[in-house]
Amino acid sequence: MLGNFTYHNPTKLYFGEDSLKYLRDELGNYGKNVLLVYGGGSIRKNGLYDEIIAVLKECGKNVTEVPGVMPNPTSDKLIEGVAVARGCKADFILAVGGGSVCDYSKAVSVSVNCNDDPWEKYFIRFEEPDCEIIPVGCVLTMAGTGSEMNGGSVITNHEKKLKIGHVFGDDVMPKFSILNPRYTMTLPKYQMCAGIYDIFNHICEQYFSGEDDNTSDYISEGLMRSLIHSSRIAVKDPQDYEARSNIMWTATWALNTLVSRGKTTDWMVHMLGQAVGAYTDATHGMTLAAVSLPYYRYIMPYGIKKFARFAAEVWGISRDGRSDEQLAEEGLSAMEGWMKEIGLVTDLKTLGATEDMIDGIADATLILDGGYKVLDRDEIVKILKASMG
């Protein structure tokens, strides 16, 4: 049965090779003081920085920069960004980069006028902002997180060894996002593949949960098939525009809240992967890849019909002569083959995890109850050990 839900997504998207031209129009809707947020400097090398600065100057904006946002943005970096935003009296935040930059910008947007400790308020108590929120716009350079069209923000606290995400409400979602697939083509292949798996797992987290056989499931299956097809092309030719554009578009639809409608959603792969990331600082998509197969094989008996459907509808495995158990296992084997084919890491040791980290990672893993099986700590430890390879 399809559950009851509300759906609203206020983010405006501009997609395609000429999408940056719409930045001028959007900037006219906001004040003069712009906080420009970006990552490690790749946008300077590929010329995008100069293009955006030119547009900001043409629009008469006062620009203050927060460069150096890391792939796993930290609570310390958040404090820095809040101080800079307050100092320049930012009216608007323009995030130029991948999902981490978008996530970070949203965290800054709700923290500048917050009278509480943002880490405690938003990432420990999971409260909503009760202060003025600085609007955010995004120019996306990496496909994966879906942060360009959702309220999600993930921050790492190294001191506490925690990596936690908060999904904020509609008011925190980007006001607009500019998606030019060409901007994703300068990424290293490793990062491209990590992003591909992040997309895939976003869909899985919503698909393997709750009420089955609803419209969301059919949409999810189509998105997964599209992603698998395009990923194989992109791995062979990262400059293939059609493949990269389809990956980028799938990333947005994978996590703009559409396919979660009517579903309880799971998110335990993300809880496991984020806990690993807090200890290793490894690339997010790769931490998900490393824990996924042990997790799904562990919970498969509790959602066997859905895993069998996954095998048939996503991987094209025939039901003839196969039990649901056989079909489900073959589906996960097909998924494993694809993961290795596109170059994903499938064990935690490769990402720098060690056996003596397992207890700490288990303690840092938030336990959610939306999937087919609610785990206890001992089960989390078992899955983590199986993920070590």
Q: Is residue 88 over pLDDT 90? A: yes
CA separation for the pair 16, 293 (Å, rounded): 35
CA separation for the pair 64, 46 (Å, rounded): 20
* Interval 6-55: pLDDT, tens: 889 999 999 999 999 999 999 999 999 999 999 988 999 899 999 999 99
pLDDT at 4: 80
Which residue, 350, 332, 347, 342, is CA-closest to 193?
A: 342
- Percentage of the chain with pLDDT > 70? 99
Q: How open is the CA angle 312-318-324, to the nearest 5 degrees?
A: 65
pLDDT at 59: 97
pLDDT confidence of 103, banded at 50, 70, 90?
A: very high
* Interval 321-340: pLDDT, tens: 999 999 999 999 999 999 99
Region 352-380 average pLDDT? 97
What mean pLDDT is reported for the chain?
Answer: 96
40 versus 220: which is more confidently predicted?
220
Q: Token pair of 379, please? A: 């089960």
pLDDT at 1: 63
Region 384-388 average pLDDT? 98
7 versus 353: which is more confidently predicted?
353
* Interval 152-199: pLDDT, tens: 999 999 999 999 999 999 999 999 999 999 999 999 999 999 999 999
pLDDT confidence of 283, banded at 50, 70, 90?
A: very high
pTM of structure: 0.96
Q: What are phi and psi of 329, to 5 degrees?
A: -65, -40
Region 75-91 average pLDDT? 98
pLDDT at 6: 85
- Percentage of the chain with pLDDT > 90? 95
pLDDT at 214: 87
pLDDT at 5: 84
Region 375-379 average pLDDT? 98
Kindly list the structural domains of the chain, giving each domain's residue range(s) and its CATH number in brackets, ordered by start. Answer: 12-184 (3.40.50.1970), 189-387 (1.20.1090.10)
- Can you name the residues that pair with 38 across neighbouring β-strands? 96
Q: Is the dihedral of CA 331, 332, 335, 340 positive or negative?
A: negative
Q: Is residue 212 over pLDDT 80? A: no
CA separation for the pair 303, 312 (Å, rounded): 15
* Interval 288-325: pLDDT, tens: 999 999 999 999 999 999 999 999 999 999 999 999 99
pLDDT at 141: 97
* 364 close to 279: Cβ distance less than 8 angstroms: yes
pLDDT confidence of 262, banded at 50, 70, 90?
A: confident
Region 354-369 average pLDDT? 97
